A and B are shown apart, each in its own frame.
Chain A
Amino acid sequence: MKKIGVFLCHCGINISATVDIEKAMEALKDYPGVAHIEDYKYMCSDPGQQLIKKKIKDLGLDGVVVCACSPTLHENTFRLTVKAAGMNEYKMEMANIREQCSWVHKDKTVATEKAIKIIKSVIEKARLDEALDPIEVDITRKAMVIGAGVAGIQTALNIANSGYEVILVEREPSIGGKMAQLSETFPTLDCSQCILTPKMVEVSNHPKIKLMTYSEVVDVSGFVGNFKVKVKRKATGLDWDVCNGCGLCTEKCPKKLPSEFDQGLGERKAIYRPFPQAVPNRVVIDFENCTYMQSGKCGICQKVCPVKAIDFDKEDKFVEEEVGAIICATGFETYSVKDIPEFGGGKLPDVVDGLTFERILSASGPTGGEVRRPSDGKVPKDIVFLECVCSRDPEHYLPYCSKVCCMYTVKHAMLYKHRVHDGQPYVFYMDMRTGGKGYEEFYQRAAEEDKVVFIRGKVSKLYQDDDKIVVCGVDTLSNETIEIRADMVVLATAIVPSKGIRELTKLLKIQIDQHGFLSEAHPKLRPVESLTAGVYLAGCAQSPRDIPDTVSQASGAASMVCTLFANEKLKHEPIIVGVNEDICSGCGICTVVCPYDARKTNLEKKLVEVNEVLCEGCGACAAACPSGAAQQNNYTDNQINAMIKAILGKGG
């Protein structure tokens, strides 16, 4: 029989105040398998660990049960402890007598009895524990970043600057994302493009970064360290290797269309570059609107192209890349004004969203930075900004705070005032949330220096009256209804995840929350990891956030990737579910429930085969397996039965 050491922790008085340690020790000292029993005030402290190590060596223990807190907290601590004493770390078990016992009971007698049962059951498990070794896997030291906004760019640069190769995939023709559309940034008012474009240029020139713009991830297989990703490179209608980005084709193209980059306010051509600083500096043909593609007539771009790059090839190409880590940085969109009927439903031209106003303010925008309203180009003299549009509105729209709207609205009002000195900006707000370095000062400056009028309250409706927009709201501080006849209204619409995120998360096998934002592995302690090993998160795809937060998180994700790549081999938890080939007859029921595609039926051999590295040890297959061939390492049916019997049985 195994020689098991049982070590009871008082956890100060966290445990010992409710569990009679002495009585428990007395009840357990002769339990089958127990070779030694001992208590200590803080088992996780250095002396506590030394005590365990000494007993393992002195008594030749080959199993240890630490009766203390939840394994979530200290399992790793004690695994390292026993390993240092030469014992296999998977023969260490924790009996949780704190969270599951002392903290939830008051009656000392009952709690002590329960603690004894918990410990007995864990001793039963420990008796049947086998020595396990981590599974070693090779790593492909190349990362793929999906989404090339500032989050993706920062992640890619950090990883590439650490010496690892990066593939940066972007759906749009250019990198830059939403930040490239912004005018100036709060709270310093530096030009967004001016601070972003150097990073974009660095990406385009970086020897370790391979750019794949106008591309989408269509399939992902494999596992941490060894992903295979299939990328669709959308047809551009020309050969990007030949194109030199001179822009002559764009100049000569006769077909004019609203520019997406300018939120529909400016124009672009059917062959176009989204914006002048686009990276890569290449054009694409909008097949749906190109006259030549639609009617076969025109072809002017092909005639004028000095390098003969244009071939009108519509065939998408697919490439397969092998990478070791994937960072999902797919960014955000804003809630569409069209879906907000009480604010005009997108039918009032002078009611725009924040992103459109950014383009109006931008020096590179359709108005060259002059504030002019879309309907007639007049300079608005009274302008109203509404915050929390669709955010913090669980009854009608979304319950969450979009986080950046307070600050960018303050910025909008301030920038407006800087351009239109005799204009009056009004801001309707619910609460001003100015958490961030220099944010509160920025807000005060807008109110005091720029005389922005802040009204605490909500707006119930907007309507067009002549050339004015009538804004009907309430000031909840004075309890008065307010009506403002404004020339223009800017809605700070909620931040929502970008389109296609659900499909992508299915490919990546990562979770999303109820609003479609990516779920992190732990909200506090693992904020940049997904629950799938090797897939990391950055930017607004996870939750609304501002640029500094996005950049820090992106660097965090990059650092996690570099940490992963710094390993010689990957170590995979050996608590997995294999197949007992002596029993398995290949019914394949376990493969139906495996969420990781780790199990495949080999019909010819009448066996299920397991990819051990893909297995995350969730145990779903072990529960589903009707023959008992699928057993989770150190959580076998026998062990679980023995544990149940120890708790519920007479002996317990």
Chain B
Amino acid sequence: MGKPKVAFYWNASCGGCEEAVVDLAEKILDVVAAVDIIFWPVAMDFKKEDVEAMEDGSIAVCFMNGAVRTDEQVEMSELLRKKSQLVVAFGSCAHMGGIPGLANLSTREEIMHLVYHNSPGLVNPDEVEPQLVSKVPEGELTLPHFHESVKALDQVIDVDYYLPGCAPTPDMIMGAVTAILEGKLPPKGEVLAPNKTVCESCKRSETKPEKIKIKAIKRPALNELPEDKCLLAEGFICMGPATRDGCGARCMDVNMPCRGCFGPPKGVEDQGAKFLSALCSIVDSEDPKEIEELMETVIDPAGLFYMFSLPTSMRNKFYDKIER
């Protein structure tokens, strides 16, 4: 029997997840020794036709990163799903929609208008917009359909496991690959990361006051961040308490608050709502006006609390239907 076949694919992503795989460094040699990588557009020259030619279920596992917004992404996701025994949503975008998912705050038309007609530095005198089909002398050129909203991978195809993070850490990738190779997998649908929150591994936890209460909200760009204090207790919005552990609290190690890229801990459906509710609970005031004023100082709440999870938030689940 040959080595298990592994595929990597990217949908709407920044390429950071691909970097994360490369960040395995010399360990990647162990991976290559154990498996056959049969599809990896960023690094290897295989085409869609090659995948189509494979037997259904012949790929042991496909790691897919990026969110889904175009017909092409849906098509590739469905194709790889059919050919793979396991599909792992790799990274925040595949897991929850990620940063591309913030586009769901705007309509498709607004985005098109901004990008093709109103973007600073844009020169488009003929007001050209991309077309699904364009006739050129050589024949017809096509572009995939741009959907109304951004989706997480499991809103398009069935997903077996999730590797969270923007991007997942090399340790976690190695752990997941090892678990798959050894067949030591948890029940389907699990996130392959610890159940606890980032506070668990945050070194600053010990400095926390007995009760966290804040009188003002501080922005990292405008305030000096203390090196060794719980950032939330100091008034910086740190999503750590509402975010699954597994990263090792690395942002706090370099003096930045957690942004929540690992998504919510097990059982939580809406990370942003949970954090918002928690934030309201620690405001040190009983005066509605004072509370309102303090909450007004949160700039871009949706972008802050749902930086990585807007497409899987309850709001979006209610309004979205998968477009085909």
CA distance A629 to B245 in the complex (A): 14
Binds A, one of B45-53, B164-172, B192-200: B192-200
Residues of B within 8 A of A641 (CB): 269
Residues of B within 8 A of A591 (CB): 210-211
Residue pair A637, B212 in contact (C-beta under 8 Å)? no
CA distance A473 to B124 in the complex (A): 88
Residues of B within 8 A of A242 (CB): none
Q: Mark A172-209, 1 if CB is under 8 A from B, else 0.
A: 00000000000000000000000000000000000000
Q: How many residues of B contact A (CB 8 A)?
A: 32
Kindly report which residue of chain A lies nearest to residue B267, judged by CB atoms. Answer: A628
Kindly report which residue of chain A lies nearest to residue B240, judged by CB atoms. Answer: A587
Name the interface residues of A565-620: CB closer than 8 Å to any CB of B. 580, 582-593, 601, 603, 606, 620
The answer, yes or no, to whether B264 is at the interface (CB within 8 Å) is yes
Partner of B199, one of A582, A593, A606: A606
Q: Mark A610-651, 1 if CB is under 8 A from B, else 0.
A: 000000000010011111110100000110010000001000
Do A628 and B268 contact each other (CB < 8 Å), given the known contacts A585-B198, A588-B212, A591-B211?
yes
Residues of B within 8 A of A588 (CB): 208, 210-212
Binds A, one of B4-12, B31-39, B271-279: B271-279
CA distance A585 to B262 in the complex (A): 15
Residues of A within 8 A of B212 (CB): 587-589, 592
Do A629 and B206 contact each other (CB < 8 Å), given the known contacts A592-B282, A624-B281?
no
Do A587 and B197 contact each other (CB < 8 Å), given the known contacts A603-B208, A628-B267, A629-B265?
yes
Partner of B265, one of A583, A586, A601, A638: A583
Residues of A within 8 A of B264 (CB): 627-628
The answer, yes or no, to whether B213 is at the interface (CB within 8 Å) is yes
Do A637 and B277 contact each other (CB < 8 Å), given the known contacts A588-B210, A628-B264?
no
Residue pair B197, A627 in contact (C-beta under 8 Å)? yes
The answer, yes or no, to whether B242 is at the interface (CB within 8 Å) is yes
Q: What's the nearest-Cβ distance from chain A to residue B124, in Å?
A: 42
Residue pair A628, B198 in contact (C-beta under 8 Å)? no
Partner of A585, one of B200, B206, B318: B200
Residues of B within 8 A of A601 (CB): 208, 210
Residue pair A626, B245 in contact (C-beta under 8 Å)? no
The answer, yes or no, to whether B107 is at the interface (CB within 8 Å) is no
The answer, yes or no, to whether B205 is at the interface (CB within 8 Å) is yes
Partner of B268, one of A584, A590, A627, A648: A627
The answer, yes or no, to whether B266 is at the interface (CB within 8 Å) is yes
Name the interface residues of B267-297: CB closer than 8 Å to any CB of A. 267-269, 274-275, 277-278, 280-282
CA distance A624 to B199 in the complex (A): 16
Kindly report which residue of chain B lies nearest to residue A622, judged by CB atoms. Answer: B277
Kindly report which residue of chain A lies nearest to residue B206, judged by CB atoms. Answer: A603
Q: What's the nearest-Cβ distance from chain B to residue A316, in Å?
A: 29
Partner of B211, one of A592, A631, A637: A592
Residues of B within 8 A of A625 (CB): 274, 278
Do A606 and B210 contact each other (CB < 8 Å), given the known contacts A583-B266, A589-B278, A623-B281?
no
Name the interface residues of B224-276: CB closer than 8 Å to any CB of A. 232, 240-242, 245, 264-269, 274-275
Residue pair B281, A593 in contact (C-beta under 8 Å)? yes
Residue pair A603, B197 in contact (C-beta under 8 Å)? no
Residue pair B241, A587 in contact (C-beta under 8 Å)? yes
Residue pair B196, A583 in contact (C-beta under 8 Å)? yes
Residue pair A626, B277 in contact (C-beta under 8 Å)? yes
Kindly report which residue of chain B lies nearest to residue A625, judged by CB atoms. Answer: B278
Residue pair A624, B277 in contact (C-beta under 8 Å)? yes
Residues of A within 8 A of B240 (CB): 587
CA distance A585 to B265 in the complex (A): 11
CA distance A557 to B245 in the complex (A): 52
Residues of B within 8 A of A590 (CB): 281
Q: What's the nearest-Cβ distance from chain A to residue B307, in Å?
A: 15
Residue pair A638, B245 in contact (C-beta under 8 Å)? no
Residue pair B241, A626 in contact (C-beta under 8 Å)? yes
CA distance A423 to B125 in the complex (A): 107
Residues of B within 8 A of A583 (CB): 195-197, 265-267
Kindly report which residue of chain A lies nearest to residue B280, judged by CB atoms. Answer: A624
CA distance A584 to B211 in the complex (A): 16
Q: What's the nearest-Cβ distance from chain A to residue B41, in Å?
A: 37
Residues of B within 8 A of A586 (CB): 199-200, 205
Residue pair B281, A585 in contact (C-beta under 8 Å)? no
Q: Mark B200-229, 1 if CB is under 8 A from A, else 0.
A: 100001101011110000000000000000
Residues of A within 8 A of B242 (CB): 626-627
CA distance A588 to B281 in the complex (A): 11
Residue pair A623, B277 in contact (C-beta under 8 Å)? yes
Do A589 and B281 contact each other (CB < 8 Å), given the known contacts A582-B195, A583-B196, A626-B241?
yes
CA distance A236 to B36 in the complex (A): 90
Do A628 and B211 contact each other (CB < 8 Å), given the known contacts A586-B199, A587-B199, A589-B278?
no
Q: What's the nearest-Cβ distance from chain B to residue A511, in Å?
A: 15
CA distance A587 to B275 in the complex (A): 12
Residues of A within 8 A of B232 (CB): 587
CA distance A627 to B196 in the complex (A): 8
Q: What's the nearest-Cβ distance from chain B to residue A193, in Å?
A: 46
CA distance A36 to B199 in the complex (A): 47
Residues of B within 8 A of A587 (CB): 197, 199, 208, 212, 232, 240-241, 278
Residues of A within 8 A of B210 (CB): 588, 591, 601
Residue pair A589, B195 in contact (C-beta under 8 Å)? no
Do A585 and B269 contact each other (CB < 8 Å), given the known contacts A592-B212, A606-B205, A624-B277?
no
Residues of B within 8 A of A627 (CB): 196-197, 241-242, 264-265, 268, 274
Q: Mark B61-88, 1 if CB is under 8 A from A, else 0.
A: 0000000000000000000000000000
Partner of B196, one of A585, A623, A624, A638: A585
CA distance A367 to B155 in the complex (A): 91
Kindly report which residue of chain A lies nearest to residue B241, judged by CB atoms. Answer: A587
Task: Please give 19 more A-B residue pairs, beta carbons under 8 A apart, in addition to A582-B195, A582-B266, A592-B211.
Answer: A580-B267, A582-B196, A583-B266, A588-B211, A589-B241, A589-B278, A589-B281, A592-B282, A601-B208, A620-B281, A623-B277, A624-B281, A626-B277, A627-B268, A627-B274, A628-B266, A637-B268, A637-B269, A638-B267
Top 10 nearest A-B pairs (CB, nearest first) are: A624-B281, A626-B242, A587-B241, A626-B278, A585-B200, A628-B268, A585-B199, A585-B197, A626-B241, A628-B267
Ordered by A's residue number, 22 sampled pairs between the chains whose C-beta atoms are within 8 Å are A582-B196, A582-B266, A583-B196, A583-B267, A584-B196, A585-B197, A585-B198, A586-B199, A587-B232, A588-B211, A589-B278, A623-B281, A624-B281, A624-B282, A626-B197, A626-B242, A626-B275, A627-B196, A628-B265, A628-B267, A628-B274, A637-B269
B-side residues, CB < 8 A to A, are: 195-200, 205-206, 208, 210-213, 232, 240-242, 245, 264-269, 274-275, 277-278, 280-282, 318
